Structure 1
């Protein structure tokens, strides 16, 4: 047993690069001084571990044994699932491919340029047809003027950002179309948009006005259409009982509005209110068998680093080669802070994309409570989290 002061130094003082609660949890649970904390069930039969054995071997024997160690270390040596390696290699291959596209020279002969321009022009026409008309903010504001709620404010802000995105898309595509037809000259920005459209990538200009994403252009356009449909339904009904947070520019504001409404209704101090989550048994709206009054349900979340047992309603090990799993509907339940007591629940971060958080700390949306029959440290070391978007 080590001294508490030394343990505290290893876990809290020395790790200078730790910048979030979740990184600190990993560091604490992976404390090398406490090897019994590790779950070694994934260790292969070739890996031996005995914390009670005291080694007394000559130096040359040590070196000879080290020379026989393989250069490749499988994930199970660190207590990780084999899927962790697949996930890492997939992301690395995608990054290499993207960098190779960026380095690709743009020199083509006349015939190639002609076919390339025709392809991009056809793609431009197709995208322009999918861009919806701008929503009238004044008419929306007048519609909800008598029953204004925090969610109404969120809706107006979301529509304003979505209108800006559609305007940028419409303007840039029409300018690119004119440039390809020889009516105006190419700018650096138009060259970049032309290149990304040709390679099926999302232009950087659009990316800066849209929610964070790692999707290709085709998948992003499908998601763009679903976002528009969700906004239209929201405007028509005034309130969404089931929402896809990935369709919002600022999903945190929606959750904050839910908490604010509950605080007003129950006369709770706003600074003393939080929320917890409950993973339901429902997969979609058709499965819901109880009143949805005062209940907020979230759809479209993906679980990474673990699987979800729909029978026992708890975390379980991933299936081989299944990197993410669609979660059932998740219920958001506002509650007073002092009443939260989630024993045997993993506090899992929910991120916008698989990039998780960037160096500025953005990307974390909320924290979900996921029930576990295993020790929580097992899932922390496996990096379990929820994702709003799949790649």
Structure 2
């Protein structure tokens, strides 16, 4: 920033706005370090965003010379929707940016003693040297509350950095067997493959599945969804079985070790999920977690198909959880005369049950379990979200009753619209649906915390 920029105008709002925009610029950049809890997508905010915002502020104040005050609605819109918001593609990231603009950019910013956070005052000097002197007095270690985050965010940050380093070290390890006296790579992989084959579920008999679905009601929305999920599960089981058997033959030298088998061999040795499996199924942090999830998913589908509809559903175990909720909405809409599917909306209520073992399901809708809170914790006594417990990153939620209603009225102000994702990586591909959770403090507070619900925390 040149000294001339600070001397552009003597308008009272100018210097506070320059510093406020600069502070906003620093915060949106720093939040990228915290991963998905900071931003769902790590946007490349840069100098041009800051400079364009300053230029707009100058033009805005010039045009308002004859009018007292600042048009805050216009300013907030330009910052959150155009200058910085123009880069933002995720709806919940846009909500966060709008929240920052609403939090700071108001008449309060022009008052003496305004603080962005304790220890971080708004500076409005005329000389660059004065800014540099005061900025040098700021804490060397930034409190995560400045960015709107809980201190647990630093634990997530360090865990991510450690995992990246370990993955890098693992990727540069030699792939060929050494001459040492330890167990060879081939024998390690062979043992792992044989163990996985011994635990692999049996193929589904399509005639038995069809007969059971017909018995339960083949045209029922949730039964149609179940058939689609079983078809996908069968493809995964077949893919895993073929890969493991071919890998054993390749290790013995009976068939050629092609590129896919070589990649699967290296991945299994490193306890990673082979790419050919991941493309046809789901992501996971390690092979052990992935294979355990395969067994658990199959158990839920098999039990549902051959023993009847569960009283509660493990949300993580679905390939298409959005389709599951849509099927539930369709089931409820059909049960009510005159309800159109496009006019039916999801609603939910958090129960007090912390186990999926219950005597009966709800009259309408479904019970789901296996969701985890990220960015806060659940108060069992008050039945609401509260600040995270130090050093506890994720908190398991009680069972949630999700149902459908024939209205889209606004939720109470003490309810936080919480996005639900399949995995910790919060992308559009992993987004499922919003749920509404009662909360302590305002919902803006939880937006800054980056609170979300995750089906899987691994």
Using the size of structure 2 for normalisation, the TM-score is 0.77
1:202 aligns with: 273
Paired residues of 1:345 and 1:371 also in contact (CA < 8 A): yes
Structure 1 residues 185 and 291, CA, compared in 2 at 3 Å: closer, same or farther?
Answer: closer
1:123 aligns with: 192
Paired residues of 2:345 and 2:408 also in contact (CA < 8 A): no
Q: Does 1:230 align with 2:309?
A: no
Paired residues of 2:368 and 2:399 also in contact (CA < 8 A): yes
Q: Deviations over 1:59-84 (max 9, x none)?
A: 43332333444554231222321001
Larger Rg: 2
Query: Equivalent residues in 2 for 1:66-85 (5 A)?
Result: 66-85=135-154
1:282 aligns with: 353
Which runs of 5 or more residues in structure 1 are unaligned?
A: none
The equivalent position to 2:315 in structure 1, one of 245, 267, 287, is 245
1:101 aligns with: 170
Structure 1 residues 157 and 41, CA, compared in 2 at 3 Å: closer, same or farther?
Answer: farther
Secondary structure of the equivalent of 1:73? coil
Q: Deviations over 1:356-378 (max 9, x none)?
A: 10xxx211011111111311111
1:190 aligns with: 261
Q: Once the 2 structures are TM-superposed, how far is the Cα of residue 111 of structure 1 from its aligned partner?
A: 4.8
Q: Once the 2 structures are TM-superposed, how far is the Cα of residue 337 of structure 1 from its aligned partner?
A: 2.9
Q: Once the 2 structures are TM-superposed, how far is the Cα of residue 55 of structure 1 from its aligned partner?
A: 4.5
2:441 aligns with: 374
2:161 aligns with: 92
Structure 1 residues 131 and 34, CA, compared in 2 at 3 Å: closer, same or farther?
Answer: farther
Q: How far, CA to CA, are the matches of 1:135 and 1:340 in structure 2?
A: 45
Structure 1 residues 67 and 56, CA, compared in 2 at 3 Å: closer, same or farther?
Answer: closer
The equivalent position to 1:331 in structure 2, one of 401, 417, 429, is 401
1:266 aligns with: 336
Which moved further from structure 2: 133-142 or 363-372?
133-142
Q: Once the 2 structures are TM-superposed, how far is the Cα of residue 94 of structure 1 from its aligned partner?
A: 1.1
Query: Equivalent residues in 2 for 1:1-391 (5 A)?
Result: 2-3=70-71, 4-14=73-83, 15-31=85-101, 32-34=104-106, 47-49=119-121, 55-56=124-125, 59-111=128-180, 115-145=184-214, 147-148=217-218, 149-211=220-282, 213-267=283-337, 268-286=339-357, 288=358, 292-339=362-409, 341-357=411-427, 361-391=428-458
Q: How far, CA to CA, are the matches of 2:195 and 2:92 in structure 1?
A: 43
Paired residues in the alignment total: 379
Secondary structure of the equivalent of 1:145? helix
Structure 1 residues 56 and 110, CA, compared in 2 at 3 Å: closer, same or farther?
Answer: closer
Structure 1 residues 291 and 189, CA, compared in 2 at 3 Å: closer, same or farther?
Answer: closer
Secondary structure of the equivalent of 1:5? helix
Paired residues of 2:361 and 2:367 also in contact (CA < 8 A): no
